[in-house]
Amino acid sequence: MSQVLTHDLVIFGAGLAGLRAAIEASRQTQGKLNIAVVTKNQMMRAHSVAAEGGTAAVMRTEDGDSLELHAWDTVKGSDFLADQDVVDLFVNSMPTEILQLDHWGIPWTRREDGRIAQRPFGGHTYPRAVLAADKTGFFEMQTLYDTLVKYNNTTHYNEYFVTSILVSDNQFRGLAAINMTTGEFTLIRGKAMIICTGGGGTLYGFTTYSQTVTGDGMALAYRAGLPLEDMEFLQFHPTGLVPSGILITEACRGEGGYLINAKGDRFMDKYAPQKMELAPRDLISRSEMTEIEEGRGYKGPGGLDYIHLDLRHLGADRINEALPLIREVCMEFNDLDPINEPIPCRPVAHYSMGGVETDITGATRIKGIWAAGEAACVSLHGANRLGSNSTGECLVYGKITGTEAAKYCQGLSAPPALAKELFEEEEKRIFGTMLAMNGSENLYDLRKELRATMDQYVGVYRTGEELGKALDIIKSLKKRFAHITIQDKSRAYNTNLVHALELQNLIDLAEVTVTGALTRTESRGGHARRDYPVRDDEKWLKHTMAFHTPQGPKLDYKPVVINKWKPVERKY
């Protein structure tokens, strides 16, 4: 029960980066390249639609903004772990991407004079987050999708769950996937692939991510032999709605919202007096946790103590115009109207700064594989991402990898040969070994335990002792996973099997994340160690690389590209 599909370029993932890559590869080849876009959801359900607040770009310089300032803000925000050549390429590319989306028909919010509107975001010197109300990711996705369907050279494979990246002799050979609707095991062959599968934030229970975002591309790349870079740096967004974790966009603070503790104080004046609520996310998340731990938070359900995000002073007109989705979410999920009541929030797992290691063009160490967007670590964000730089990275690196992979494909007459045994072994692993699993462990209990462990021990603040406990639990979960039961033995729409494969991916990513965090004995950006509270440039101004071995991750390091700014103390 297997089918073979053959294309030139395979795009694995269909969020902002994947759609932008597919469009660019089509444009570069005048629609002659045969492209597959493979996604485990329906395309427009990619998590990119949940991006809310904006996309950063320098669109005008008359107020003193500049490309150099955007680059500096990004490097400083990264706690000096970003590769500065990558940052330069990014900030220089962004204005064109905004105008390109404009030409493709996105409904950007406009100023009264008709120019594209921008709002302030944390860590940025100037208001440079271009916006479409507070539904920016949704409108960007819609615009890219509408543009892509104009090309008839692209085949969309919705609801195909990829189980393995097939590689031999360090060259991409294809993807093994389950066609969810039929249960057929499918080989998708191609000359090249771009991994655009997003982050791994559902490692945590309290998270802004859709439950489908399980780090599949990162985990499969890792097992295929690619190193994962800087995985210990996971961003906590300061404002996750309590108790659901739904993202309450930074645009709320960009529009002038206040963070208030249980005593009624705007507490950010103690931590970032110059920037207040518009400090970078790592700093605000730590400040909130300090307020909560020192007893100045509100008691929340299930230990989710919180502070308040107050928008009331903005008034109904401003909230309805600039933050309509946030009002809708608060009313729908918490039965509160932010026009009249403050919003209960706390730091929430939000974004993977790390990912599949790539060079400045998005190319990986395996011939024929590129990676873009959150799944990749081209090292634009370093140890802490500035808000509104992520959607921009998807656009820029979607375009770059689409261009590079298209050129590469044009240089090959056919996809490289694949040994039949590689695919047959994978089919046997999935539909022979895994589907037959009938042990004593419940995979949903294991998943719950994994997320509770990450929430408890690998949060905003960390210690060596807590990280050690987390690693022991993760290793135990890895062993227990071998004894799970898969109750559904059918093939079509077997979500039970898919959840097992997703859990396997998450366990691998958790082990990499915690191993890197335990080893990195400093505090930098999103990685804050209570037992090593100071940034240590002498020892740790370097990128962590995790390579897969049967025993677990093997760590190595590589230097940060510093070609303009030497590290200095971060003050806001």
Quote the CA–CA distance of 18 and 6 in Å, as a whole number.
Answer: 19
User: Does this chain's domain 238-346 share its CATH topology with 420-542?
Assistant: no
Q: Collapse the DSSP code of 187 into the 3-class scheme (helix H, G, I; strand E, B; otherwise coil) and give the result.
A: strand
DSSP letters of 80-94?
Answer: T-S-HHHHHHHHHHH
- To the question of domain 238-346 being in CATH 3.90.700.10, the answer is yes
In this structure, the strands spanning 355-357 and 376-377 are parallel
Query: Is the overall model pTM greater than 0.85, yes or no?
Result: yes
DSSP letters of 228-293?
Answer: EESTT-EEEEEEEETTT--B--THHHHTT-EEE-TTS-BGGGGT-TTTGGGS-HHHHHHHHHHHHH
Quote the CA–CA distance of 550 and 554 in Å, as a whole number.
Answer: 10
**What's the pLDDT at 488?**
96
**What's the pLDDT at 63?**
85
Q: Give the pLDDT means over successive 10-residue stretches in the chain (572 positions).
A: 90 97 96 96 88 92 93 97 98 98 96 93 93 93 96 95 97 96 95 96 93 96 98 96 94 94 96 93 96 96 95 95 93 96 96 97 98 98 95 98 97 92 93 94 97 97 98 98 96 96 97 98 97 97 97 97 96 88
Q: How far is CA 200 from the centre of its chain?
A: 7
CB proximity list for 382: less than 8 A, separation 6 or greater: 75, 77, 78, 79, 80, 81, 82, 83, 230, 233, 353, 525, 560
Number of CB atoms found within 10 A of residue 95's CB: 17
Residue ranges per structural domain of the chain: 238-346, 420-542
**What's the pLDDT at 360?**
98
Quote the CA–CA distance of 343 and 127 in Å, as a whole number.
Answer: 24
- Of 229, 546, 213, whose CA–CA distance to 377 is shortest? 229
Q: Collapse the DSSP code of 200 into the 3-class scheme (helix H, G, I; strand E, B; otherwise coil) and give the result.
A: coil
Supply 161's token pair.
């769950």
Active site residues: 237, 253
**What's the pLDDT at 280?**
93
CATH class, range 420-542:
mainly alpha
**What's the pLDDT at 76?**
97
Identify whether 243 is preceded by a cis peptide bond (ω within 30 of 0).
yes
